[in-house]
A and B are shown apart, each in its own frame.
Chain A
Amino acid sequence: MNEASLGQAAAAQAAAASSTMGKAGRPPAWTGGYWPFVLPAVVVVLAVILFPWVFTIWMSGQEWKLGQGSSFVGLANYWRMTGDDRFIESFWHTLSYTALSVILPILVGTAAAVVFNERFMGRGVLRALFVLPMMATPVAIALVWTMMFHPQLGVLNYLLSLVGIPPQLWVFHPGSVIPSLVLVETWQWSPLVMLIVLGGLSSIPTEPYESAVIDGASRWQLLRHITLPMVAPFIMVAALIRTIDAVKSFDIIFAITQGGPGTASETINLYLYSVAFAYYDIGYGSAIAVIFFGLVVALSVLMVWLRQRTQWSEAGAAA
C-alpha cells in the first residue's frame, strides 16, 4: 500500500514535471500520467468482472458437474439448450416479463413526471414518498407483497371486493403470476422513469409553450405536440435502463414465487440459478449465462439504436 502510493507519487511527479516543461502559460498536456489513479480499479475490474466473463465462456465448453471432473465438449451445452423445453419456456417468460415491465413503468413514470412537474403544495414530500419504493430492500418488499397477494387473507382481494371485483389468485395461478409480478415491478420502478423524465422536463424551454398558448392550444395539445416530443429522448433512456434491469430481474421473482407455480414465472435468470446452484451443472449453467449475457447486450444495443433513430428523426423533422 505504502510502496504503491509512493510509486504513484513518483510516477505522478515525473509526469507532472515533464508536462510543466511545455510552453509557459499553456496548460500542461492532459493525456497520460493518470494511469496510477486508475490502476487499482483496473486490478479489481480484471479480478471480479473480466475474469468471470472469460472463465464463464471457457466453462461453457465443458461438461462439468460440481464434485465431478470436467471434460471439453465444445458447443454441446449450447446445442442442449435448443432441446431444453424448460429453457425455451423461461426465454419466453423473460421476454413477456421484460416487455410488460418496460411498458407499464414508462407509462406510469412519464405520467408521474408530468404531474410532478406542476407546482403544488407539498410537492417535494409527495415526490419523496413516490420514490421510496425504488430504494426499499427488494426482499423485504417482496415479503410484504406475498402477504398482500394471499388469496384468502391478503389485503388486495379485500380492496378488490370493495369495488365489486371477484377475488384473484394473483401469484398462485400460472395465468396471473407474471402480470402480478409486473405489478410489483411497476410499483417499484416507475419512480426511476419519473426521475429521468422529470430531469428532461426541467430542461424544456418555455418559449414554445408561450407561443402555443397564444395560438390557443389546449392542455392536451401542449402535452401531445410539445412536451412528449421534447422528452422523447429521455423516455428512451428510461426505457433502455428499464429493459436492462427488467430482463435480469431476480430478487422480486425469486422471493415471491421461486419461479412458480410450477415453472410459470421462471425467467432465464431464475433457471440459470437452478441449473448452476441447485443442480450444480456448472458447464450448462455457464452456457446459459453466456446466452443470457448476449440477450442483455442485444437488447441494450437495440435500445441504443432505437434511441439514435428517434434523435435522427427529430433532427430531420426540425431541419
Chain B
Amino acid sequence: MSLKAILDRTLLWVCVFLLVSPAVLFFVWMISLSLKYEIDNGAYPPILIPETVAWRNYGEVLESNRFGTYFINSILVTGAATLIGLIVGVPAGYGLARMKARRTAMLILIARMTPGLSYLIPLFLLFRWMGIMGTLWPQIIIHLVLTVPIVIWIMISYFETTPMELEEAALIDGATRWEVFRHVALPIAKPGVVVAMILAVIFSWNNFVFGIVLAGRETRTLPVAVYNMISYDQVSWGPLAAAALIVTLPVLVVTLIAQRQIVAGLTAGAVKGG
C-alpha cells in the first residue's frame, strides 16, 4: 500500500468515527443511565460503568405507574391503527396504481405534509361529541392519519413496479378484478406490505402529540406515560432512562432486523410521522 492509500484509509476511518460516534455514544449513555443508582448518576465526573449495577431501575418502572396498562394501550392503538391502515390502504394503493391516479395520490401526500396537530382540534371536538373520549378509539382513529397515507404511498410505488402481464392474463382468463388482486397482485407485493406495516407500526408507536391531547389516565400510550414521568420531580434519572429505553427498544430491534426494508420504504416517499 502506498503512503497516499494509507492516508486515504485513515481519513476515511476518522470520518466514519466522527459520524457514527454520536449515535453510539448516545445509546451507550442511555443504557448507562438506566443501570446506575442515583448516586452514580449524580456523580461528577460522570461514571460510565458503575461498580454496582442498578437492575432494580427496570423493576421499578415495570412495577409502578401502571406501565403494563400503558404498554398494552400502546400495542392496542398501534396494532389497530396499523391493521386498519393495511386493510384500507393496500387495496387503495393497488387501485390508485392501476388507475394511474396521480392527482389523488398527491392529495394523500399533502396529508403527510400537514402538521399532525392541526387534525387534533376538529377531531378532538368530534370525539367529545361522540362521547368516546374515555376509550382508546380516539387514538386509534387519529393514528389512521399516520398509517393510511404511509401504507397507500408505499403500496402505490410497489404495485407500480410489479409486472402487469400475469394480471392481464388472469383477467383475460375470466378472473374478477378482486380475484386478480387477491391471488395475483397481492402475493407478489407481499414484501411491500411488510414494509408498509413496519413503517406504520414505527410511526404509530413513536407518536406523542395525539396521545398527549387525547389520552386520559387509563388510556395513555407509552410515549405519553414516559413524558408524564418527567413532570414528577422526585423521579430519579435511572428509572426515567430505563423507561425511555423500554419504550424505544421494540422500534430499535425492528430497525436492526429489517434495516434494508425500512430504508427502501423510507426513501420511497414516506416522511416522518406527526
- Chain A positions within 8 Å of B, measured between CB atoms, are 5, 8-9, 12-13, 15-16, 19-20, 27-28, 30-38, 40-42, 44-45, 48-49, 51-53, 55-56, 59, 108, 111-112, 115, 118, 120, 124, 126, 128-141, 143-144, 146-148, 152-153, 155, 158, 187, 189, 192, 195-196, 199, 219, 241, 244-245, 247-248, 250-251, 254-255, 269, 272-273, 276-277, 282, 285-286, 289, 292-293, 296-297, 300
Q: Check A293/B115 contact, CB under 8 A, given A8-B178, A41-B91, A144-B33.
A: yes
Chain B proximity of A168: nearest CB distance (Å): 15
Contact A135 B263 (CB under 8 A): no
B175 contacts the other chain (CB 8 A): yes
Contact A282 B23 (CB under 8 A): no
Q: Which B residues, 80 to 109, have Cβ-Cβ distances below 8 Å to chain A?
A: 84, 87-89, 91-92, 94-96, 98-101, 104, 107-108
Interface-lining segment among B53-61, B62-70, B248-256: B248-256
Q: Which B residues, 201 to 219, have Cβ-Cβ distances below 8 Å to chain A?
A: 202, 205-206, 208-209, 212-213
Contact A137 B247 (CB under 8 A): yes
Residue of B with least CB distance to A300: B113
Question: How many angstroms between the C-alpha atoms of A150 and B111 in the bound complex?
Answer: 37
Interface size class of B (residues with CB under 8 A): 35 or more
Which residues from chain A contact B95 at a C-beta distance below 8 Å? 34-38
B223's partner among A133, A140, A269 (CB-CB below 8 A) is A140
Which residues from chain B contact A255 at a C-beta distance below 8 Å? 208, 227, 230
Residue of A9, A31, A38, A272 contacting most chain B CB atoms (<10 Å): A38
Residue of B with least CB distance to A219: B8
Which residues from chain A contact B22 at a C-beta distance below 8 Å? 187
A-B contact pairs, 5 of them (CB 8 A): A45-B148, A56-B118, A158-B46, A244-B271, A300-B113
Chain B proximity of A171: nearest CB distance (Å): 13
Contact B226 A52 (CB under 8 A): no
Which residues from chain A contact B131 at a C-beta distance below 8 Å? none
B71 contacts the other chain (CB 8 A): no
Which residues from chain A contact B213 at a C-beta distance below 8 Å? 277
Residue of B with least CB distance to A52: B122
Contact A158 B44 (CB under 8 A): yes
B44's partner among A13, A136, A152 (CB-CB below 8 A) is A152
Contact A132 B23 (CB under 8 A): yes
Closest 7 CB pairs of A and B: A37-B95, A41-B92, A12-B177, A140-B244, A34-B95, A55-B122, A248-B115
Residue of A with least CB distance to B213: A277
Q: Check A195/B267 contact, CB under 8 A, given A248-B274, A251-B274.
A: yes
Q: Give me 6 other A-B pairs in contact (C-beta within 8 A), A31-B99, A254-B208 excluded.
A: A33-B177, A40-B92, A139-B223, A187-B23, A245-B272, A276-B117
B132 contacts the other chain (CB 8 A): no
B137 contacts the other chain (CB 8 A): no
Question: How many angstroms between the C-alpha atoms of A19 and B98 in the bound complex?
Answer: 14
Which residues from chain B contact A20 at a C-beta distance below 8 Å? 171-172, 174
B79 contacts the other chain (CB 8 A): no
Question: How many angstroms between the C-alpha atoms of A300 and B181 in the bound complex?
Answer: 35
Contact B177 A45 (CB under 8 A): no
A148's partner among B24, B29, B262 (CB-CB below 8 A) is B29
Which residues from chain A contact B243 at a C-beta distance below 8 Å? 140, 143
Contact A292 B118 (CB under 8 A): yes
Contact A44 B88 (CB under 8 A): yes
Contact B206 A16 (CB under 8 A): no
The binding surface of chain A is classed by DSSP as helix
A143's partner among B113, B206, B226, B272 (CB-CB below 8 A) is B226
Chain B proximity of A138: nearest CB distance (Å): 6
Which residues from chain A contact B99 at a C-beta distance below 8 Å? 30-32, 34, 38
Interface string of B182-199 (1 = CB under 8 A from A): 000000000000000000
B259 contacts the other chain (CB 8 A): yes
Which residues from chain B contact A59 at a C-beta distance below 8 Å? 121-122
Contact A48 B23 (CB under 8 A): no
Which residues from chain B contact A148 at a C-beta distance below 8 Å? 26, 29
Contact B171 A138 (CB under 8 A): no
Residue of B with least CB distance to A32: B99
Question: How many angstroms between the C-alpha atoms of A274 and B249 in the bound complex?
Answer: 31
B49 contacts the other chain (CB 8 A): no
Question: How many angstroms between the C-alpha atoms of A124 and B36 in the bound complex?
Answer: 32
Which residues from chain A contact B256 at a C-beta distance below 8 Å? 128, 132
Q: Which B residues, 117 to 136, have Cβ-Cβ distances below 8 Å to chain A?
A: 117-126
B77 contacts the other chain (CB 8 A): no
Which residues from chain A contact B112 at a C-beta distance below 8 Å? 244
Question: How many angstroms between the C-alpha atoms of A16 and B177 in the bound complex?
Answer: 6
Residue of B with least CB distance to A184: B26
Which residues from chain A contact B9 at a C-beta distance below 8 Å? 120
Which residues from chain B contact A49 at a C-beta distance below 8 Å? 111, 114, 119, 145, 149
Q: Check A143/B241 contact, CB under 8 A, given A187-B26, A195-B263.
A: yes
